[in-house]
Amino acid sequence: MGRDRRNEERPEHWTKMLRSTMETPAWRALSTTAQALYPWLKMEWKGPKANNNGKISLPVRVAAERVGCNMKTAGRAFHDLQAKGFLLLTQHGRMGAEGKGAAPTYEITELATPGKDEHSGRKLYLHWEEGHDFPVRAHAPANPTGYNGLLSAESKNVIPSPKLGRVVPINGTKR
């Protein structure tokens, strides 16, 4: 019995989950869906040699399918990961010229960003405190003046920039 070289040729795709990360208060405060989504986001990282952190893209539909939940639940998990400091939105999702959409891109704060500190990431989740979530960047509305041009009383003074998006609270968080 020799070794099976066919299995050696197929690289297994895996990601490393650090216990120190999973023992932080921010990790414990994440929803279970957000905890299940985080390894899938880390699997999109191509490693330190071909570092694509800051350009990590996982559409909400694909995330919902992989985690096994509703699209709205997956969207809330992305928001939860941003609020606790595990993700930063680097570019909003958009519709391409030929009608094909592009998913938002994220930076995983646990990992090093190319061109910056090459040994470790920002690790914003270490600075998270209960009741003091980080701002969550959501996509700017397609109609910033509101339905039929009428603004609600809350949004009359705030028209978000299409480039920057808007900061939105997650249900149940204090602002």
Going from the N-terminus, what domains does the chain have, and what CATH number goes with each? 18-133 (1.10.10.10)
Q: 73 falls in which pLDDT band (50, 70, 90)? A: very high
Residue 107 near residue 54 (C-beta atoms within 8 A):
yes
Q: What pTM does this model have?
A: 0.76
Model confidence at 79: pLDDT above 60 = yes
Residue 93 near residue 142 (C-beta atoms within 8 A):
no
If you average pLDDT over every residue of the chain, what do you get? 82
Model confidence at 140: pLDDT above 70 = no
Model confidence at 104: pLDDT above 80 = yes
Model confidence at 107: pLDDT above 70 = yes
Q: 148 falls in which pLDDT band (50, 70, 90)? A: low
Number of helices (H), then strands (E), in the chain? 6, 7
Q: Which of 9-18, 23-32, 130-139, 152-161 has the lowest mean pLDDT?
A: 152-161
Measure the CA–CA gap between 87 and 55, rounded to whole angstroms.
Answer: 12
